[in-house]
Structure 1
Amino acid sequence: MPRPGLTVFMCVLLFYGIFGGIVLADESFYAAGIQLEISPGLYADEETFSAHAADLIEEVLAEGEVDLVVFPEYTGVFFAFFNLGIERLEGKTLAEGIRYLLRHTETAGLKEYFLLYPAEETMNRVWGNLARSFGVAILGGTCFAAADGRSGRELRNRAVLYDGDGEVLYRQDKVYLTSFETDIIGIDPGSLQAARTVSIRGRKVGISICRDTFFSPWEKKFFDVDLWIDIKANGEVFDARQREVFRRALPERLQNLTDTLGMTVCLNGGFLDLRWEGPSSVVSADGPPGARSVTYLDRAESVREETFVITAVP
């Protein structure tokens, strides 16, 4: 994951922090977002995934001190397929893959499967071990997790954040679901009221999950955060139209806030005939309320390759 512009970026950010009017906290804080490229082979088993994730974290830490490492939406969803011969699904369509999965597990549908084989326990083990090993907080993307709800046993698209000791610091369920999540998977929505900000080493952090970021009520939740993280799995070819869609997500939200950095972290790669694309980025919005301009402080050069973005958080 080459980062030719990172040194220049960090120097500019340091200069701006000292001379540009930003008052930095007593201790530095750095967050990194890993633009993960997935494939069936990556999820062959827990050991394979953990080893690759460890390599990615090591590469990020080689750039210097990092306090928070962020992985994209859906990263943990495929943990539910460990040891099920997932590589046999390579080259199949979504419909063929679903039939194979249900036939070999004797489940009636995807929701039943994910409730029967929940991934959150595996999330806790994988990310807990890695966070403890490297001594960094990790936002491990999302998994499909079981929850008790109004309709009984529900399935949620859940983000989980781990502290540097490997303990669960915070959980948050996606609220505004896609038609794929509701109609194909059977996901149930989380609660906007239950979502909150979380403090990591003195920085206030807000998390939104992909489609949630398009909805302005989150601005009231995150009006005073230092860092707003948007974890995405964009299931569209990233073209000019999608570029505009991305602009209407976190960059548009930040235009109504002050002194907030935004980090978008995207899933890349494919599974069955599904494909995810999109550039990860770090943005800020400057200027008077209602007339702010968005600046990209860091941005992935490719929408299809594994890389990372990084930022200091004042």
Structure 2
Amino acid sequence: MRKALLLVFLLGQLPALATQIVVGLRSDNIISWGVWEREGTSLKHYLLLYNNSSQPLSLVIREWDSQAVSPVPGKSKKLYQSQLLAKQLVRLRYPKTRAKVGYLEYFENAVSVGVLPSNLSRPDAAALSGETYRYYTNEGSNSHSLTYWLAFNSLVTPPAQLRLTAATAFPTFTPHRRGEEAYCLVKLYPSYAAAPRQPGALDSLLAAGPDPTIGRLDSARQAVVVPASFRFLPMPLPVLVVLIETVEHSFRYNEQRQLVPDKSVSGVRCLLPFFPPLPN
């Protein structure tokens, strides 16, 4: 998986000032992903760790002290330590941090490669309702949490479809005028395809005509099943790209104090890796 430092800034509360925490892993080798596994009526929370390199590596995870003005690497509580073989997948119970809003610092071969937020959110009733899936997650690999729950049935085989449930109610504002609305669009891509990056790409595709591969969430529909309209090419580590686009249509006053239509679009993409089978 390509090296990426996710430019996501989380606001941490300090005693006298606020600080910005850059979240992401500066590593081509480590994949970290939190998932919930459902067995009957029980849910278990796991952290998946994968060595995507061709060499063994040492991995240490520590609780990062976000309350310290100048955190000292390696001085915080150690949560996990292991030697991962090449292409090895490890599944462990999700580590709990002492802080309510905690962060995990990752060390690859004794070098800090970044920080990820500790994500202890549990799937809510809406995410668990309807058809039963085996796995649930509200984050992509090496990333921060989403405001959506993704449901699927395998960590090995890329899904033919994915269920997306809004973790917060739609719309994000209450419409006051005709034409005001908020909705979310989602589409799946294989990692080797050129998923669009321009804002409003999915909205433009739907404006050109119906597209059954694009799912929509709004105030009347809190969950949607999105099909994967492709088959993965043979590859060592298939990665599914979930492109999520939030669109709001409202109105604003221009410089002449005239009420004119206003449209805002925000987007996020998350990466879902699918691993070699776990040993029995």
TM-score between the two structures when normalised by the length of structure 1 = 0.27
- More helix per residue: 1 or 2? 1
- Structure with greater strand percent: 2
